[in-house]
Amino acid sequence: MANHPVCKVSAAITLALGTLVLPAEWCFAQSQSTAAIEEIVVTSRYREEKLSEIPDSITPFTPEEIERYRIERINRVASLTPNLRFSDDQEVGVSTLVIRGVRQNRGTGQPPVSFRIDGVSATNNLLTTQELFDIESVDVLRGPQGALYGRNAIGGAILVSTKKPTVDPDYSLRVSAAEGEDFTFAGTASGSIGTTGALYRASLRLQDRKGQLRNAYLDNQYVDYKESAAFRGRVLFTPTEKLTVDLRGQYLDQDGGSGYFMPGSEGFLPLPPPAAPILFGNPTYEIQSNRIGESFVRSWETSAKIDYDLGWGTLTSITSYTDVDSGNDQDLDQTLVEAIDIIVIDESETIAQELRLASNSDDVLHWVAGVSYFAQDRFRSLATTFLGFPVPPAAQDLELEDFAAFGSVSYDMTDDLELTLAFRYDEETPKDTTQGRSATFTELQPKASLAYRFHEGLLAYVTVGKGFRAGGFNNLAPDSNFAPGFDEESLVSYEAGLKGTAFDGRMRAGLSLFRIDYDDQQYFLFDQTGTQANINVDKSEILGGELEITAVPTDALQINLGFGFTDSEIEEYEAVPGVLVPASAIVGRKVPGAPVWSLNLAMQHTKSLGNSMNLVSRFDYEHRDKTYWTLDNLDTQPAYDLTNLSFALENERWSARLYVNNLFDEQYIEWFFAARFIGLPADIAWPSKPRQVGLEYSIRF
């Protein structure tokens, strides 16, 4: 059996662990190992189901994986999930997320996923960058999920669950120190509140980072500094056997660097006629802003989740209120010249209410039905100065309301065949009181899937679903050429998948292939006036797929493999005001924003040291292939590779971990804006994070 192909592949993989090499003779077919992958139960359809029985492409993260992968933000989740890309760029709170080619809309735009924590939707796009701490699980669902997870779930959903309050007292501490004078402290406390029967959990996370990236032209000052504080309190009580009340409050406070883009080309100053543009020979791909940018995000969120068991069904009410304030002061041209500066103010208040009823029956019919309401008042101002002279600001006071009804029915047609039909109907109305404009966008989003179980542990499915994201109004400065508003976008996603387990539960795998027909896809752009705008691309097609494998070939070794790819084409595009590149340069090009393909490989080896002590060694590798940055595909990020290592001593109460992120100090571009699209003096590129070595210690009491 040693020459069996599986054995050869397994032996080659173990060589990557260096000193942790295992004998090449093992393989699944002959191993006497009793190791098996833990069965993952998810509630993505509002009932407990095995991951292998759900007709959706889902990447789950268990408590152990969250701990050992050191998942503290969504960017780490994205690095481990096929066809999901998350980029921090510009300031704290701002990010760009791409899932299966569906992009983030920045500014007052909306994300392409429903991002939920403990069932409560993150109602502001600035909250996707928040720290994740005291987390129980993370599930990434790909494909349209509007039927169950609400507005903006056009590309999928990211579901985060925090750890629940406990009956018995539970306390924990975590401290870490890393390069860049990056210090983190986190603590939790959980238990009963007197004799009331109520349970509580309080969690705190603090971070203070001096930084690793420097501006060589401003006395080598650090630009990527950050201070953050986050607190979450949760109270859970059951007044009766049928009634459960879950109250949650969370405060976030982040301060950090801003606008440390690097010029990707030589700069020029566009002067009004008859003067000619002034060229200046700024260095490229160096951080050189003539000021150290500053930014902040402060948010407060409260929510109440109430469940009432009716016997035949569960009635759930989720009410939330969110207040977010953010600001940004930066050099907008990112060159040595004092050309364009910008100050951003962003304030919003949001209330959201969801009411749903889900069946409790384990019979052949399962269903969910509900309604939701969302209301947001958001003010955003972008004030620029050009060559020291103030420019009238791009200001927008936007009121947004969304009413929706949704439902899903799953019917077991036979013991092995399940049909699921779902829908969501949205009516969203943005009102730009600054421009005196309003519009109403409505859409029915149906979804149907058919799943067939060949045998226990092997499921095939096909799914067709529609996704929708409402249009809106651009945050315009007086001299901007962009249109006042942008249209809604919609897509139809066709997916076929196969998932299951093998080798007595020691391998779990999932394969999915998809096609997306996209209408009026929204793209974010901005210009030197301070305007932030979304435009529409008429028609695109995206093809792709994902392969995920988890295996435990021996008691000591676990292997995770993920592969994702997309192939796309912009089929129709008409010239849009404000876009300086002609339509002929865009039609036929690839949809930008995500790697053409990506690969992630993780290996974890556990060696018992006796006395309940283990040495846990991890190797994480990620390959990102070419990424197209612009609609005309002229600017690209070449393929690159990232490697992380960690070694930990663990027992039931404490762990000590040494970790290295970006082991080989790979340099690449996180995000890119081309001057020909945005009218800035130069192309600008967001730098990657350098290698970071750190130590972490955690203990439970």
Give the integer Cα–Cα distance in Å for 238 and 307.
10
Share of the chain above pLDDT 90, in %: 74
Nearest Cα to Cα of residue 500 among 134, 83, 51, 140: 51
* 316 vs 26: which has the higher pLDDT: 316
For residue 436, give the amino acid letter.
Answer: G
For residue 172, give the amino acid letter.
Answer: S
Sort 228 into a burial class: Cβ within 10 Å, 0-12 / 13-18 / 19+. buried
Q: How confident is the model at residue 56 (pLDDT cuts 50, 70, 90)?
A: very high
Give the integer Cα–Cα distance in Å for 54 and 44.
9
Q: How confident is the model at residue 335 (pLDDT cuts 50, 70, 90)?
A: confident
Residue-level pLDDT at 4: 40
Give the integer Cα–Cα distance in Å for 630 and 637.
11
Mean pLDDT of 511-535: 92
Asked if residue 244 belongs to a domain, the reply is: yes
Nearest Cα to Cα of residue 79 among 604, 696, 560: 560
Asked if residue 10 belongs to a domain, the reply is: no
Asked if residue 94 belongs to a domain, the reply is: yes
The answer, as to whether pTM is greater than 0.85, is yes
* One-letter-per-residue 3-state SS of 406-450: EEEEEEECCCCEEEEEEEEEEEEEEEECCCCEECCEEEEEEEEEE
Asked if residue 193 belongs to a domain, the reply is: yes
Give the integer Cα–Cα distance in Å for 166 and 245.
15
Residue-level pLDDT at 391: 87
Count of structural domains, the chain: 1
Give the integer Cα–Cα distance in Å for 413 and 55.
15
Give the integer Cα–Cα distance in Å for 387 and 403.
46
β-sheet bridge partners, residue 458:
455, 500
Asked if residue 15 belongs to a domain, the reply is: no
CB 470 within 8 A of CB 438: no
Contacts of 221 (CB under 8 A, 6+ apart): 214, 215, 292
Q: How confident is the model at residue 272 (pLDDT cuts 50, 70, 90)?
A: low
Angle 314-315-317 (CA atoms, 0-180°, nearest 5)?
A: 135
Give the integer Cα–Cα distance in Å for 93 and 350.
17
CB 484 within 8 A of CB 477: no
How confident is the model over 580-611, as pLDDT tens digits? 899 999 999 999 988 899 999 999 999 999 88
φ, ψ for residue 145 (rounded to 5)? -130, 20
Residue-level pLDDT at 15: 34
Mean pLDDT of 52-62: 91
Range of the domain at 167: 58-700
Give the integer Cα–Cα distance in Å for 175 and 179.
14
Give the integer Cα–Cα distance in Å for 592 and 550.
30
- Say which range, 34-43, 66-75, 166-175, has the weakest mean pLDDT: 34-43
Residue-level pLDDT at 41: 84
How confident is the model over 636-655, as pLDDT tens digits? 999 999 999 999 999 989 99
Q: Tell me: pLDDT of 661 over 70.
A: yes
Q: How confident is the model at residue 270 (pLDDT cuts 50, 70, 90)?
A: low
Q: How confident is the model at residue 197 (pLDDT cuts 50, 70, 90)?
A: confident
For residue 287, give the amino acid letter.
Answer: I
How confident is the model over 382-409, as pLDDT tens digits? 999 988 888 889 999 999 999 999 999 9
CB 61 within 8 A of CB 600: no
* 510 vs 339: which has the higher pLDDT: 510
Q: How many CA atoms lie within 13 A of 241 on its CB side?
A: 2
Mean pLDDT of 186-204: 94
For residue 306, give the amino acid letter.
Answer: I
Give the integer Cα–Cα distance in Å for 182 and 184.
7
Whichever domain contains 251, its CATH number is 2.40.170.20
φ, ψ for residue 404 (rounded to 5)? -150, 150
Give the integer Cα–Cα distance in Å for 109 and 475.
10
Contacts of 174 (CB under 8 A, 6+ apart): 184, 185, 186, 187, 696, 697, 698, 699
Reduced to 3 states, what is the DSSP secondary structure of residue 678?
Answer: helix
Mean of the per-residue pLDDT values for the chain? 90
Q: Sheet of 113-117: strands edge to edge? A: 57-61, 135-142, 156-162, 113-117, 120-121
DSSP state of 163: P
Query: 389-412 and 640-650 as β-strands: parallel, antiparallel, unpaired?
Result: unpaired
Mean pLDDT of 143-148: 90
CB 179 within 8 A of CB 695: no
Q: Tell me: pLDDT of 31 over 60.
A: no
Residue-level pLDDT at 284: 92
Give the integer Cα–Cα distance in Å for 167 and 106.
42
Asked if residue 438 belongs to a domain, the reply is: yes
How confident is the model over 79-100, as pLDDT tens digits? 999 999 998 888 888 888 999 9
Residue-level pLDDT at 24: 37
Asked if residue 23 belongs to a domain, the reply is: no
Asked if residue 561 belongs to a domain, the reply is: yes
Q: How confident is the model at residue 337 (pLDDT cuts 50, 70, 90)?
A: confident
